[in-house]
């Protein structure tokens, strides 16, 4: 049955399948990397992702909008951790044909993330709730156990440190 998120989910599966077809047909050296909620400085201001949305709202004292009741969780991977993971996938022997999840398994509820960003920006923003989009997952947390084992990789930048760097960047471009 098709649901509103089906196109997004299926496009990811199609890309992975296409990678495997090309890998086998043309004897390519390719791996599949599943990237989970990356954030950091130089994100587009209005890219629509939750971190940039919350930071923009907080810095302008506009309401921070949470979709749903805010108990749904996400994990956030700082960009330098992602780059380190991608580098390890590219330059580690034996990764051809393998699938690696790159993300931070530490989860935050949308309520906690909004409060944390509001606090870190000294914002007076209200936190408001709107209807949750259909099929929005309750939890999105990567299992990085294979990546830790195979590549000796795990994220090292804490969400607090990463958010602080991201907020400083946003402040610098808004002045």
Catalytic residues: 8
Q: Are the C-beta atoms of 42 and 150 separated by less than 8 Å? A: no
96: left (phi over 0), alpha (psi -120 to 50) or beta: beta
User: β-strand 77-78 against 127-130: which pairing, if any?
Assistant: unpaired
- What's the per-residue H, E or C state across 69-90? CCCCEEECEEHHHHHHHHHHHH
CA 101 to CA 85: how far, in whole Å? 9
């Amino acid at each position: 049955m098709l649901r509103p998120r089906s196109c997004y989910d299926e496009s990811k599966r199609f890309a992975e399948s296409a990678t495997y077809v090309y890998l086998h047909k043309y004897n390519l050296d390719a791996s599949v990397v599943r990237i989970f909620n990356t954030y950091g400085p130089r994100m587009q201001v209005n890219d629509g992702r939750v971190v940039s949305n919350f930071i923009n709202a907080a810095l302008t004292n506009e309401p921070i909008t949470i979709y749903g009741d805010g108990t749904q969780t996400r994990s956030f991977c700082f960009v330098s951790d992602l780059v380190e993971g991608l580098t390890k996938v590219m330059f580690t022997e034996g990764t051809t044909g393998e699938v690696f999840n790159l993300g931070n398994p530490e989860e935050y509820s949308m309520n906690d993330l909004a409060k944390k960003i509001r606090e870190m920006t000294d914002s007076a923003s209200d936190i408001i709730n709107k209807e949750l989009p259909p099929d929005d997952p309750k939890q999105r947390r990567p299992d990085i156990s294979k990546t830790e084992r195979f590549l000796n990789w795990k994220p090292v930048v804490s969400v607090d440190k990463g958010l602080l760097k991201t907020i400083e960047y946003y402040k610098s471009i808004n002045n």
